[in-house]
Structure 1
Amino acid sequence: MGEHYFASRPGAASRLRTVDLVLPDLHLRLETDRGVFSPDRIDPGTRILLETVPAPPPAGALLDLGCGYGPIALTLARRAPEAQVYGVDVNERALELARRNATAAGLDTVRFALADEIAPELRFEAIWSNPPIRIGKAALHDLLLTWLPRLTPGGRAHLVVQKHLGSDTLQRWLNEQGFPTDRLASRSAYRVLAVAARPEPTRTGDDTA
């Protein structure tokens, strides 16, 4: 069985290569390697996400959850140059590639880090993610329940998921967890889900008793 891209320290021998991310508003040449997600091309789900989501908030903190070698985070940074962009992943080889790609693109204010290196009090105006569905449903749910509550009031996450890997089931589950979720786009068996922050609880009466 091949090694999973969500290993923290991939054992596969390094074999560097480059891929091009070409969108109407940007062109990034990105270094990739064995042992990371989609090393041979920009994953179709990632491309569909980047081609369909609305523009990110122009300021504040933005998050790429499961950043890999950085295509989503660097697109966020290019589209919102005044924002502070973070990319998190468990794969240390991917994080190092993402840092190099950021520097090469002149976007080295983006911070790529392990999850526990991000301050727990930090809140995000937007989260974009091609989430690691293959880690399993329980682990995926834990991941989303860790990060989605960190959306600011009015914040929004955009997730891209293949239909046959459970996008419709995930949409229902997110709604059940209190995150209002709609399908933003559907293309080539992928769904782009727009996930709103949980509504603030309504306070009634006097809480000072």
Structure 2
Amino acid sequence: MDAIYAGQRHIYDATRKYYLLGRDRLINELAPPPRGTIVEVGCGTGRNLILAARRWPQARCHGFDISAAMLETARAKVAGAGLADRIALAQGDATHWEPRLLFGFDAADAIFMSYTLSMIPDWQGAIGAACDALAPGGALHIVDFGQQERLPAPFRAGLFAWLDRFEVTPRADLRHWLEVAAGGSDLSLDFTPLYRGYAWRAVLRRPA
């Protein structure tokens, strides 16, 4: 990840805003309880966490990433936004993490993954780890590339070829594995294609 993002991190937010669709909708739907905890898995430059902290000012926000280069940028952006006292950052692996070890609390009320599963080799493991970290009544929010199922075939082929250059792989069987995770952890699943299948949105929720 550091090899990929050592240079890209400086232009990441400016370029990704045009095609990482659905991120702001996800943030608006987090709805943590008062004094609740939010965790972003794969926080990158900190862009989403800053928006989440502003949208949900009563929540405590946390994020982690495996890339030290990205975290360097995230810390600078969080400090520049005046939110260093409200956003905690750590280095961690999405496939094997615990809130207690990274941030000092037992479970999270809202966890989100924004265009991260398409970049994580063991993405099924990342889903499982996030589900394990949910508090009672908590929810895991996901948005990532869909299969462009209602868009023209040439658009799909061009997008997938371009994403492959950056080692990004849209997960065709994402819904299946979310259903497996939901069944194995007694969670409910809400799955919704966005923008004619350009992106897929999902929410896994633990009963209170």
The verdict on a shared fold, with TM-score over 0.5 as the criterion, is yes
Matched, 1:154 2:147: no
Contact 2:118 2:145 in 1 (8 A): no
Structure 2 gap segments, 5+ residues each: 148-169
Partner of 1:95: 71
**Which moves more between the two structures, 145-154 or 169-178?**
169-178
Amino acid at match of 1:180: S
Structure 1 Cα separation of the partners of residues 36 and 103 of structure 2:
15
Structure 2 Cα separation of the partners of residues 173 and 13 of structure 1:
31
Contact 1:171 1:182 in 2 (8 A): no
Alpha-carbon displacement from aligned partner over 1:137-181 (angstroms, at most 9, x marks no partner):
xx11112211221111111111012112236x2122122222322
Question: Between Structure 1 and Structure 2, how many residues are aligned?
Answer: 170
Partner of 1:190: 199
Shift of the 141–82 alpha-carbon distance from structure 1 to 2, 3 Å rule, reads same
- Between Structure 1 and Structure 2, the one with more helix by share is 2
Which of 135, 138, 141 is matched with 2:124 structurally?
141
Matched, 1:108 2:84: yes
Matched, 1:48 2:25: no
Equivalent residue runs for 1:1-209 within 5 Å: 7=1, 9-10=2-3, 14=7, 32-33=9-10, 38=12, 40-44=14-18, 46-52=20-26, 53-57=28-32, 58-109=34-85, 110-115=87-92, 118-119=102-103, 122-130=106-114, 131-136=116-121, 139-164=122-147, 165-166=170-171, 169-177=173-181, 178=183, 179-184=187-192, 186-187=194-195, 189-197=198-206, 199=207
Contact 1:175 1:181 in 2 (8 A): yes
Structure 2 Cα separation of the partners of residues 13 and 56 of structure 1:
33
Partner of 2:152: none
Amino acid at match of 1:113: A
Amino acid at match of 2:56: A
Structure 2 Cα separation of the partners of residues 14 and 134 of structure 1:
17
Structure 2 Cα separation of the partners of residues 13 and 51 of structure 1:
28
Give the CA RMSD over aligned residues. 2.6
Alpha-carbon displacement from aligned partner over 1:101-156 (angstroms, at most 9, x marks no partner):
111111112011112660475311001211231333xx111122112211111111
Give the match's secondary structure for 2:142: strand
Shift of the 128–13 alpha-carbon distance from structure 1 to 2, 3 Å rule, reads closer
Q: Tell me the CA shift for residue 184 of structure 1.
A: 4.2
Structure 1 gap segments, 5+ residues each: 1-6, 16-31, 201-209
Shift of the 182–50 alpha-carbon distance from structure 1 to 2, 3 Å rule, reads same
Give the match's secondary structure for 1:41: helix
Shift of the 174–81 alpha-carbon distance from structure 1 to 2, 3 Å rule, reads same
Q: Tell me the CA shift for residue 39 of structure 1.
A: 5.0
Q: Kindly, what percent of the aligned residue pairs are identical?
A: 22
Q: Tell me the CA shift for residue 63 of structure 1.
A: 0.6
Shift of the 133–41 alpha-carbon distance from structure 1 to 2, 3 Å rule, reads same
